[in-house]
Amino acid sequence: AQTVTQSQPEMSVQEAETVTLSCTYDTSENNYYLFWYKQPPSRQMILVIRQEAYKQQNATENRFSVNFQKAAKSFSLKISDSQLGDTAMYFCAFMTIQGAQKLVFGQGTRLTINP
Amino acid sequence: GAGVSQSPRYKVAKRGQDVALRCDPISGHVSLFWYQQALGQGPEFLTYFQNEAQLDKSGLPSDRFFAERPEGSVSTLKIQRTQQEDSAVYLCASSRDRGKYEQYFGPGTRLTVT
């Protein structure tokens, strides 16, 4: 079974700073997908960024980028020029290519951006 | 277009009562997922539908939990004889099809069992 671990329960940075959220996972599969989801307070979970394991190039979406280290099974999220609206719970998630393609989530990191 | 909707948004049930939680996925989305999110935790998979077929129910915690999607659109998660440990947010997500398509989440139903 796959597991996802986020070792930082909470993080806090000042607006405009860069912050990196950590995620490690365990799997015996070679092909899979990794995601970062954002869950703002009392709002719906939304996808931030997606990485396909067979792609060596790290995914980027505007101010969001990942550092995907397949051999180390590490998938960190970097947020550049952080904004107040980035305040949220961030979940790292793993998805297999086979079967139901359900998401396996980590425990989450609560990120607070301070003015 | 409209996103995933869930109703009710909040539900308080007395221990032993039955509850039914509804999910309206994005129109045309083939895949539908239910997740359970305990307070301060990440969501955990409950069950998966592809159209009307329930292809994976390995995450349902007990036989008190039952889900259906009879016409391949709206889905209902039913919990019989609710227990305090069932208190959680129940999230529904849909995606266009299998594969790398994004799962779109609803706002969730917060269930409190007293």
pLDDT, averaged across chain B: 94
Average pLDDT over residues A35-47: 92
The one-character DSSP state at A85 is G
Chain A interface includes B90 (CB < 8 A): no
pLDDT tens, residue by residue, B66-87: 999 999 999 999 999 999 999 9
pLDDT, averaged across chain A: 94
Q: Which residues contact A8 (CB under 8 A, 6 or more apart)?
A: A21, A22, A109
Specify the residue for token string 């069932």.
Answer: B86
Statement: residue A107 has pLDDT above 80:
yes
**pLDDT for the residue A35:** 96
Lowest mean pLDDT among A64-68, B15-19, B52-56, B100-104: B100-104
B-chain residues near A52 (CB < 8 A): 100
**pLDDT for the residue A56:** 86
**pLDDT for the residue A1:** 81
Of B40, B56, B102, the CB nearest to A100: B56
How many interchain CB pairs under 8 A, A with B?
54
**How far apart are the C-alpha atoms of B93 and B96, rounded to whole Å?**
11
- Closest approach of B2 to chain A, Cα-based (Å): 13
Q: Which residues contact A28 (CB under 8 A, 6 or more apart)?
A: none
Chain B interface includes A45 (CB < 8 A): yes
Residue A106: both structure tokens together: 């980590």
Average pLDDT over residues A2-10: 95
**pLDDT for the residue B99:** 65
Chain A interface includes B42 (CB < 8 A): yes
Contact A45, B105 (CB under 8 A): yes
**pLDDT for the residue A92:** 98
Statement: residue A105 has pLDDT above 70:
yes
**pLDDT for the residue B113:** 98
Q: Which residues contact A93 (CB under 8 A, 6 or more apart)?
A: A4, A34, A35, A36, A37, A103, A104, A105, A106, B42
Average pLDDT over residues A66-72: 96
**pLDDT for the residue B2:** 83
